[in-house]
Structure 1
Amino acid sequence: MVHFVGAGPGAPDLITLRGAELLRRADCIIYAGSLVNPALLALAKDGCTIYNSAEMTLEQVLDVIRSQEKQGRETVRLHTGDASIYGAIREQMDELDRLEITYDDTPGVSSFCGAAAALNAEYTLPGISQTVIITRMAGRTPVPEREALADLAQHGASMVIFLSAGMVPAVQAALLQGAYIENTPAALVYKATWPEEKVVRCTVGTLARCGVEHNITKTALILVGDFLNTTSYERSKLYDPGFTTEFRKGSQQ
């Protein structure tokens, strides 16, 4: 049996209870060493075999899983954040289906949630934005042409940009081709929830300069949108005394 587990954004205590229990039970852990906090490996039991998948190919990961399965051992495939976002899990699951190896998936707290927490931010502020775009800049790994950052920026929605901290000048230029302007609020969040977390608030127009000044070139998210400016949003209807819901009667008829 293989368990895909989301490790959370970094802080060891932000893994789910289920994920932590699976780590304690595992006979083998294959973890994404480039991003997963190694402190989580302290949960492994004595005798657990541990592999760093940052040094492995898909084929090598599968070889390890096959070997563990033949021995009747339980494997945890530990991915950063939530594995459904840039986790490359679909290709692994397809191969496990082909090999008739059973697996399940335990979600984790994504780093985009950790970044919002670091900023005390809400992505979906009434009257500001009700949409969150999660994307990345095209680099060595391409993106579909229809998902070019400049095109997505036309929406002006709350945006979280992964895997692009090393291309901040290009990110800034693409954003300014869309609905964002020089003064649109932005932020760089380095290693959200880790002990070395760094938060840099800026604007779209100062993104590139702030990236250089704070030496942020990797392992950071870029957040963009007016949700970062909390002075002009509308009050939520959910807690408005005049608004009737299923659970209470509002004062306005």
Structure 2
Amino acid sequence: MVSFVGAGPGDVDLITIKGRRLLEEADVVIYAGSLVSDKHLGFCKENADLHNSASMTLEEVIEVIETSVDKGLKVVRLHTGDPTIYGAIREQMDLLDEKGISYKVIPGVSSFTAACASIKKEFTLPNVSQTVILTRIEGRTPVPEGEDLEDLASHRASMAIFLSVQEIDRVVEKLAKGYGSYDIPVAVVYKATWEDQDMVFGTLRDIAEKVKSKGIKKMGQILVGNFIEGAYERSKLYDPTFTHEFREAIK
């Protein structure tokens, strides 16, 4: 059996219990070494066969998996965060399907929720935003038509922008055009939940300069929207004047 496991954003304790158990039982572990904390490897069996996929091609990863499965070994493909978000797992699963190799996917804590938790905010505030957009700026990997940052920002939803902090100037310009303002709150969280986590707060007007002064060029999650600061309405869930299935309104 092959298990795609989300290792979480950085803190090794943010992997799921199920993911940790699979890691402990694995005979072969193929891990995303450029992003996954190497502390996770301390939970592997002493004789586990470890492969750092940072220097491997898709075909080489699949070859290791196929060879291991043929030997009846348990394989864990360890991805950072949640493997279903920017994890490049679809192409791996499609090849496994072609070869008749079964697999399962174990979700993990994503860096976007970890970053929001780190700044102690909530993406979905009443009367502010009930939508969260996960996206990235185009680079060597293009984005489909209609998914440019400027277009997405026009919805004024809460945003979590991956893989883009190295292009902070372009990000800011596109967002400002979409929002129609530079006075939109922004937080950049560097290496959310890692021991050297850092964060920068500002607006579209000044965040680029602040990020550059910190020297943040990678592994920074960009959070954008009025959920970061400003007024919001109280939730109906705990409003004493609101009736729902489990509680009558207080007259």
Deviations 1:11-41 (A, max 9, x none): 0001000000000000000001111111111
Aligned Cα root-mean-square deviation (Å): 0.8
Q: Which residue of 2 aligns with 1:248?
A: 247
Cα displacement (A) at 1:109: 0.4
The residue that corresponds to 2:105 in the other structure is 105
Match of 1:136 in 2: 136
* Whole-Å separation in 1 of the counterparts to 2:69 and 2:124: 44
What is the match of residue 95 of structure 1? 95
Identity across the alignment (%) = 53
CA distances 1:122-154 after superposition (whole Å, capped 9, x unpaired): 000111111100000001111112101111010
- What runs of 5+ residues in structure 2 fail to find an aligned partner? none
Output the CA distance in 2 between the equivalents of 1:145 and 1:35: 29
Distance 1:204 1:41 in 2: 39
In the TM superposition, what are the counterparts of 1:142-157 in structure 2 within 5 Å?
142-157=142-157
Distance in 1, Cα, partners of 2:41 & 2:175:
39
Instruction: Tell me how far 1:180 sits from its aligned partner.
Output: 5.0
Structure 1: stretches of 5+ with no match in the other structure: none
- The aligned amino acid for 1:111 is S
**Secondary structure of 2:77's partner?**
strand
Q: Deviations over 1:31-84 (max 9, x none)?
A: 011111111110000110000111100000001001101111010000000001
1:170-249 to structure 2, matched below 5 A, reads: 170-229=170-229, 231-249=230-248
Q: 2: distance between equivalents of 1:206 and 1:161? A: 17
TM-score, normalised via structure 2 length:
0.98
Secondary structure of the residue aligned to 1:143 is: coil
Normalising by structure 1, report the TM-score.
Answer: 0.98
- Residues 103-138 of structure 1, C-alpha deviations (whole Å, 9 max, x = no match): 001100000011011100100011111110000000
Could you tell me which amino acid in structure 1 is paired with residue 187 of structure 2?
A
How many residues get paired? 251
Q: Secondary structure at the match of 1:243?
A: coil
- Where has structure 1 moved over 2 Å in runs of 4 or more? none
SS at match of 1:146: coil
